[in-house]
Chain A
Amino acid sequence: MPPPTCLRSFSQLSLDSAARASMASRARAHAQMACFSTSAARYANPVSKKKGMAQTKKGNKTLNVKKGRNTVQDTGKRPAQGERKAARKRIVLTNDNALEVATLKDMTKADVLSEANQGRVLGIPEATVDALRAVEAFKTTQGWSLFRRPATLMRKETIELAKVMKAAEDDKKTLRRVLSGERLSGKSTLLLQGLSMAFVRQWIVINLPEAQDIINAHTEYAPLPDSQPTQYTQETYTASLLSQILKANNTAENPMLEKIKVTTSPALPLALPADATLKQLIELGIVNPEASWPVFVALWQELTQPGRPPIMLAVDGTAHMMKESDYLNAEVKPIHSFDLTIIRHFIDHLSGAKSLPNGGVILAATSQSNAPSTPALDFSVQVAEARQVDPSKTPRWNPYKNIDPRVMEALKDLHSPTAKEQLKPLDVIKVGGLSKDEARSIMEYYAESGMLRAKIDDGFVTEKWSLAGMGNIGELERASVRLRI
Chain B
Amino acid sequence: MPPRLNVLSLARAIPYRPKGQAQWLSRPAARLAPTQTRTYSDAKDEDKVPAADRSKRIDAKPLGHVSEEASAMADITGGEGPDLSQGTPVQDIVRGDKKAEEKLPKVMKEQLKSNASSAPKGSRSYSTSTTPIGGGSGAFDMGLMSMTSPPAEAVAPGLKFEMPVLPLPKDGHLKHRYDPVVDQVTNLLMRHGMKSVAQRNMALILQQLRTASVPTINPQRPLLPGAPPPSHLPLNPVLYLTLAIDSVSPLLRIRNMKGAAGGGVALPIPVPLGQRQRRRTAIQWILGAASKRKTNTSGKTGYAQRVASEIISVIEGRSSVWDRRNMVHKAGISARANIVLPRKR
Residues of A within 8 A of B (CB): 13, 15, 17, 36, 38-39, 41-42, 44, 46-47, 70, 72, 79, 83-85, 87-88, 92, 95-99, 145-146, 156-157, 181-182, 185, 385, 388-389, 429-436, 450-451, 453, 458, 462, 465-466, 469-472, 482-485
Contact = CB atoms under 8 A, between A and B. Distances in A.
B133 interface: yes
Contact of B133 (A41, A70, A79, A471): A471
Contacts of A453: 235-236
Which 6 interchain pairs have the tightest Cβ spacing? A433-B131, A430-B135, A42-B262, A41-B262, A97-B234, A432-B135
B299 A88 contact: yes
A465 B211 contact: no
**For the complex, would chain B's binding face be called helix, strand, loop or mixed by DSSP majority?**
loop
Contact of A433 (B133, B137, B147, B265): B133
Contact of A485 (B146, B178, B235, B265): B178
Contact of A84 (B141, B236, B297): B297
B147 A146 contact: no
A40 B51 CA distance: 117
B210 interface: yes
Given A70-B292, A469-B130, 17 more contacts: A13-B336, A41-B261, A42-B263, A84-B297, A87-B296, A88-B298, A92-B211, A96-B213, A145-B211, A146-B211, A385-B135, A430-B136, A432-B131, A432-B135, A432-B136, A433-B133, A485-B182
A432 B139 CA distance: 13
A477 to B, nearest CB: 12
Given A87-B298, A185-B131, A17 B344 contact: yes
Contacts of B297: 84, 87-88
A44 B339 contact: no
Contacts of B84: none
Interface in B131-173: 131-137, 141, 143-144, 146-147
A438 B114 CA distance: 40
B29 interface: no
Interface stretch (B197-205, B221-229, B307-315): B197-205
B337 interface: yes
B134 A435 contact: yes
A456 to B, nearest CB: 16
Nearest to B299: A88
Given A95-B210, A97-B210, A181 B135 contact: yes
A200 B54 CA distance: 98
B321 interface: no
A79 B211 contact: no
B206 interface: yes
Contacts of B147: 458, 462
20 contacts: A15-B341, A41-B262, A72-B291, A83-B296, A88-B299, A96-B213, A99-B235, A145-B211, A432-B135, A435-B143, A462-B147, A469-B130, A470-B129, A470-B131, A470-B133, A483-B203, A483-B206, A485-B178, A485-B186, A485-B202
A42 B262 CA distance: 4
A72 B294 contact: yes
A483 B263 contact: no
Given A435-B143, A436-B146, A95 B264 contact: no
Nearest to A20: B341
A47 B337 CA distance: 25
Contacts of B186: 485
Contacts of A99: 235
Contact of A484 (B200, B237, B265, B296): B200
A37 to B, nearest CB: 10
Contacts of A83: 296
Contacts of A485: 178, 182, 186, 199, 202-203
B207 interface: yes
A38 B291 CA distance: 41
A38 to B, nearest CB: 5
B135 A451 contact: no
Contacts of B76: none
Nearest to A94: B211
A157 B137 CA distance: 11
A441 B212 CA distance: 27
Contact of B199 (A46, A458, A484): A484
A430 B263 CA distance: 81
A72 B290 CA distance: 11
Given A46-B263, A182-B131, A36 B337 contact: yes
Nearest to B212: A97
B261 A38 contact: yes
B181 interface: no
Contacts of A41: 261-263, 265
A388 B135 contact: yes
A48 to B, nearest CB: 11
Contacts of A95: 210-211
Given A17-B344, A84-B298, A97-B214, A482 B133 contact: no
Nearest to B127: A470
Contacts of B134: 156, 432, 435
Contacts of B237: 483
A435 B236 CA distance: 29
Contact of A432 (B133, B261, B262): B133
B143 A470 contact: yes
B296 A429 contact: no
A181 B132 CA distance: 10
Interface in B255-273: 261-265, 267
Interface string B321-343: 00000000000000011010100
Nearest to B137: A388
A359 B18 CA distance: 74
A182 B129 CA distance: 13
Contacts of A471: 131, 133, 143
A79 B263 CA distance: 54
Contacts of B199: 484-485
B266 to A, nearest CB: 11
The CB with the most chain B CB atoms within 10 A, among A47, A87, A431, A432, is that of A432
A436 B135 contact: no
Contacts of A146: 207, 210-211
